[in-house]
């Protein structure tokens, strides 16, 4: 029986799954978590990811052989190699205000937002590799001068497995110097970083999703992809569907043509299959709810129950979450309005949950405004950590929400491994494995979603006034 090993390498842990290549049946799981200090670091040693992959593989059943391996890893991230293929410095995962300012200057240097969306599908912010490279040139010129290869975390792990420097179009689209529409690198954009450097040889070869990067002792190594693209495969996302990932703080959809949003609100990313993933960076919903639970002195389960005990609308108590924090920008607090001494803990909990749900619906509206069709399934990853949030989102959207189980990023990586082994389209494999199966949560028909949305928008307008 052939097996595939899928890998999800995040900023906090590495998770793996062993699945049957033909049926997708799950045979084993493993995980290796980093220490708290390591997981919160702005920079990480890539060797830590490799060691965690080895440990997670052992945890999943090290004696069981596999026929294919595929890696999905955190985006964004920047890994740099020298001429001897050695890592130059720790991988850059998070940005500071200096990188944010440099991103702004790059936008102006090319001629503005419209020029960037036409060239790379997105308006770069501090999370894009192009801004981080520009920052490195100024902050660490000696390290910058040694750069021979520019890679993402998933690229580097695939390189360790296959000894080939490759990527896929999905992860490439998060760099700021790749055109999703054309499916090609745009090395001339890196000329804004350093006009004297020959950037073409520094970039990985872009492979199709069903292509193999190489072979390791008879095991097929897939090209892999970024975590967002793997999640789309892991739920068998279809055009017009919307996926809300509370775990990654993103809201995105799948479509057949490129999205180029000059406002910068929607990033015009590519998926791993030849289609496109217009993506909105959303609020860190789960952290916000955990913070409110801490203020109320309750655990997550009790917080959920409190929120569900209160009536829709929380009797006028409203949370206006802060705008999604841009990478490298200072966090801005949200605002709780309509609060008085008579507000009970259940009303506060309900207001927090509704505020987050309204912000998610704002994100979906941003996709609509960018001409992205969003009338398909509404899929939530991370919803199991807050039943109240999932229910309120169903109520306010007036549509069922699908709640898949398990780590769908690693499931998507398994799909890519099977695709590379069989040379088959990964979307077909995800469908054949029935990865679209999920428990559905129906909206409560008694909730007046239209009035609740209108009240929230009035509160938002009052705050801006």
CATH of domain 285-403+440-464: 3.30.420.40
Here the tokens at position 174 are: 């998060």
pLDDT > 70 in the chain, percent? 96
How are beta strands 184-185 and 178-179 bridged, if at all? antiparallel
CATH topology of domain 3-235+406-432: Nucleotidyltransferase; domain 5 (3.30.420)
CA 152 to centroid of chain Cα atoms: 14
Q: Whole-model pTM?
A: 0.94
Helix segments in 177-226, DSSP class H: none
The answer to whether 125 touches 326, Cβ cutoff 8 Å, is yes
Res 439: pLDDT: 94
User: Could you tell me where the beta strands, DSSP code E, fall in 74-199?
Assistant: 79-81, 91-92, 149-151, 166-168, 178-179, 184-185
Please report the pLDDT score of residue 95 as a whole number. 81
Q: Is residue 92 helix, strand or coil?
A: strand
> What tokens were used for 334?
């949200």
Q: Is the dihedral of CA 355, 356, 359, 360 positive or negative?
A: negative
pLDDT for res 45:
96
Render pLDDT for 40-78 as a digit per residue (tens, 0 to 9).
888 999 999 999 999 999 999 865 689 999 999 998 899
Q: What mean pLDDT value characterizes the chain?
A: 92
Topology agreement, domain 3-235+406-432 and domain 285-403+440-464: yes
Q: Which residue has the higher pLDDT, 64 or 460?
A: 460
Question: Domain limits of the chain?
Answer: 3-235+406-432, 285-403+440-464
User: What 8-state DSSP symbol labels residue 255?
Assistant: B
């Amino acid at each position: 029986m052939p097996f595939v090993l899928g890998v999800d390498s995040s900023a906090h842990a590495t998770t793996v799954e062993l699945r049957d290549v033909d049926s997708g049946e799950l045979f084993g799981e493993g995980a290796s978590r980093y220490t708290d200090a390591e997981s919160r670091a702005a920079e990480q040693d890539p060797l830590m990811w490799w060691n965690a992959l080895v440990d997670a593989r052992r945890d999943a059943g090290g004696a069981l052989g596999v026929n294919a391996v595929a890696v999905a890893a955190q985006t964004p991230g920047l890994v740099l190699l020298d001429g001897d293929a050695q890592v130059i410095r720790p991988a850059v995962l998070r940005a500071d205000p200096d990188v944010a300012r440099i991103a702004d200057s790059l936008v102006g240097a090319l001629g503005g937002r419209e020029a960037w969306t036409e060239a790379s599908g997105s308006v770069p912010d501090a999370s894009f590799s192009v801004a981080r490279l520009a920052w490195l040139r100024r902050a660490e010129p000696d390290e910058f001068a040694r750069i021979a290869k520019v890679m993402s975390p998933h690229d580097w792990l695939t390189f360790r497995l296959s000894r080939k420097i490759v990527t896929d179009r999905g992860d490439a689209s998060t760099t700021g110097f790749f055109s999703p529409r054309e499916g090609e690198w745009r090395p001339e954009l890196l000329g804004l970083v350093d006009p004297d450097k020959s950037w073409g040889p520094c970039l990985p070869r872009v492979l199709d999703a069903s292509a193999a990067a190489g072979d390791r002792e008879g095991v097929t190594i897939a090209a892999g992809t970024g975590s967002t693209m793997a999640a789309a495969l892991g739920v068998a996302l279809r055009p017009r569907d919307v996926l809300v990932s509370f775990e990654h703080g993103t809201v995105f959809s799948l479509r057949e043509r490129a999205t180029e949003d000059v406002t910068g609100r929607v990033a015009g990313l590519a998926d791993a299959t030849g289609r496109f993933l217009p993506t909105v960076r959303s609020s860190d919903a789960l952290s916000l709810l955990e913070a409110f639970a801490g203020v109320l002195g309750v655990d997550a389960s009790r917080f959920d129950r409190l929120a569900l005990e209160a009536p829709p609308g929380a009797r006028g108590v409203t949370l206006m979450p802060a705008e999604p924090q841009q990478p490298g920008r200072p966090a801005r607090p949200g605002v709780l309005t309509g609060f008085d001494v008579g507000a009970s803990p259940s009303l506060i909990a309900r207001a927090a949950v509704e505020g987050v749900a309204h912000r998610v619906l704002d994100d979906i509206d941003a996709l609509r405004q960018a001409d992205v069709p969003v009338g398909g399934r509404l899929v939530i990853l991370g919803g199991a950590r807050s039943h109240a949030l999932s229910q309120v989102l169903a109520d306010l959207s007036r549509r069922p929400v699908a709640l898949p189980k398990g780590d769908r990023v690693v499931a998507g990586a398994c799909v890519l491994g099977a695709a590379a082994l069989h040379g088959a389209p990964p979307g077909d494999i995800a469908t054949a494995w029935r990865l679209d199966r999920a428990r559905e949560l129906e909206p409560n028909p008694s909730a007046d979603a239209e009035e609740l949305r209108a009240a929230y928008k009035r509160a938002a307008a009052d705050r801006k006034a």
